[in-house]
Amino acid sequence: MVPAKTFYIETFGCQMNAHDSEKVIGTLIARGYTRVETPEAAHLVLYNTCSIRDRAEQKVFTRLGNFKRDLGNGKVFGVLGCVAQQEGERIFERAPHVSLVAGSASYTRLPEMLVQLEAGNRRVTGLKLETNETFDTPLVRRDNPHRAYITIIEGCDKSCAYCVVPFTRGPERSRTSESVMAEARRLADQGFGEIQLLGQNVNSYRDPSAAAWDFATLLARVAEVTGIRRVRYTTSHPRDFVKAIVEAMDRNPVLCDHVHLPVQSGSTRILGAMDRLYTRDEYLARIELLKTAKRPYSITTDIIVGFPGETEEDFQQTLDLLDRVQFDALFSFKYSPRPNTAALAMPDAVPDEEKQRRLAIVQEKQRSIQIRRNAERIGAVEEVLVEGRNQALGQWIGRTTDNHILNFTHSDPAAENLLGRYLAVRVTRSGPNSLVGESTSVV
């Protein structure tokens, strides 16, 4: 038997989930639990799950399947996050060794749920979605010593026809600006140089307090906190991506030179069917705000291919949009039908081979765009935050303000530990997904 009050957690999905796990870990540690590195060594095994596409959802059931034989040997399994919210108590039927099923809107009740588990209750749930609460806890255990996430808004009030998120994360709830600012100042005092503001739709942020800040104001104020050198935010919805945001970024270079603005499709007809609340031209007008701004901004996006009814002509519109915008990176996905969503009932499903073909074409086009754009940077000197080390290659891994990975060597062999440092690096080579360079910064 492994010691009680040991836990293991594996996280799937987006940064919101990654940050939720940091809060869950902090809450468990505050209750006297110890984190262990393998599920075998743990008494409590938690999976913080993602259900954005079917493949993500299946992962947790594969993991749980590996432990069926543990039924009854005292280990306690918990499913957290989006699959938990979506499947609810059905998980107990499908995986009878699971004792806890809780969605992210219930994590403020985690201490109570732990008490129930500790008392031997084997059917503990947290599945309420109608909430005004955010999981706003001081007990966060942050993984990265240099970059810290801050949740500013949870949930989603949009209703994109393909998306489970409104069903798994509940209605939109913003944190007060006072609470966000207090956390930003605390993190700066603790030495975090980079802050990443998180939300399903960060730019729909609306301060619920009397101060009533909008997202652009919050961005500007966080960037002014002493000690903070970089501020990023993700994810933005194009409909709410207003000029004031670009103006705030233009005014203060602490706000990083990067915007992730998921377009999903280049066809106005498909955007309408997806209920995205903007047309192709409206999206391109948002891009124009960035292209005519005071600094060059890196723009990245998400694309779904094979949404029901997507014709070859619609698809060509997406390819044309990629040519026009010249994104710096792109995440592309085959449409995956999800429970509860409006698109489930839509006719004219695109066959899987056709989705696969379109996906390959998108990825190939984007690859050549990135090869060309990255090659243009050879010779430039860029500031990086050093995030890691590749011992095998003798390289340090840095990230530029516009979110490119720049792997580099340092001319001074005395440069022993550069992690967390900001250095100037000259770009010497480029590939489709990263840059390579040399730093001569004094260390």
CB 24 within 8 Å of CB 107:
yes
Examine residue 202 and tell whether it contacts ligand 5AD (CB under 6 A).
no
Q: Smallest gap, in angstroms, from Cβ of residue 19 to ligand SF4? A: 10
**What gap in Å lies between CA 406 and CA 398, rounded to an integer?**
5
Out of 193, 262, 266, 308, name the contact with ligand 5AD by CB under 6 A: 262
Q: What residue is closest to ligand SF4 based on CB?
A: 13
Is 161 one of the binding residues for ligand 5AD (CB under 6 A)?
A: no
Q: What is the DSSP string of 47-84?
A: EEE--SSHHHHHHHHHHHHTTGGGTTSS-EEEEEHHHH
Closest separation between CB of residue 305 and ligand SF4, Å? 18
Q: Are 77 and 110 in contact (CB under 8 A)?
A: no
347: exposed, middle or buried (C-beta count within 10 Å: 0-12, 13-18, 19+)? exposed
Q: Which of residues 40-59 bind ligand 5AD (CB under 6 A)?
A: 52-53
Which residues 112-151 are close enough to bind ligand 5AD by CB under 6 A?
Answer: none
Backbone angles phi, psi at 171, to 5 degrees: -70, 160
- Residue 230 pairs in a beta bridge with 194
Q: Least separation, in Å, of the C-beta of 14 and ligand SF4?
A: 3
Contact segment (CB under 6 A) with ligand 5AD among 37-45, 84-92, 330-338, 411-419 equals 330-338
- Interaction between residue 163 and ligand 5AD (CB under 6 A): yes
Find the helix or strand (DSSP H, E) in which 10 lies.
Answer: strand 6-11
- Give the one entry of ligand SF4, ligand 5AD, none that residue 169 binds, where binding means its C-beta sits below a cut-off of 5 to 8 angstroms depending on kind: ligand SF4
Where does this chain bind ligand SF4 (CB under 6 A)? 13-14, 16-17, 50-52, 81-82, 164-165, 168-169
Q: Name the one range near ligand 5AD by CB under 6 A: 283-291, 329-337, 345-353, 378-386.
A: 329-337
| Partner in contact with 99, chosen from ligand SF4, ligand 5AD, none, beta carbon below 5 to 8 Å by kind | none
Q: Where are the alpha helices (DSSP H) in 190-309?
A: 215-223, 243-251, 268-274, 280-291
43: closest CA among 8, 75, 70, 1? 75
**C-alpha to C-alpha distance for 379 and 314, rounded to whole angstroms:** 39
User: Which position's Cβ is nearest ligand 5AD?
Assistant: 302
**Which residues bind to ligand 5AD, rule: CB under 6 A?**
52-53, 162-163, 262, 264, 302, 304, 333, 335-336, 338
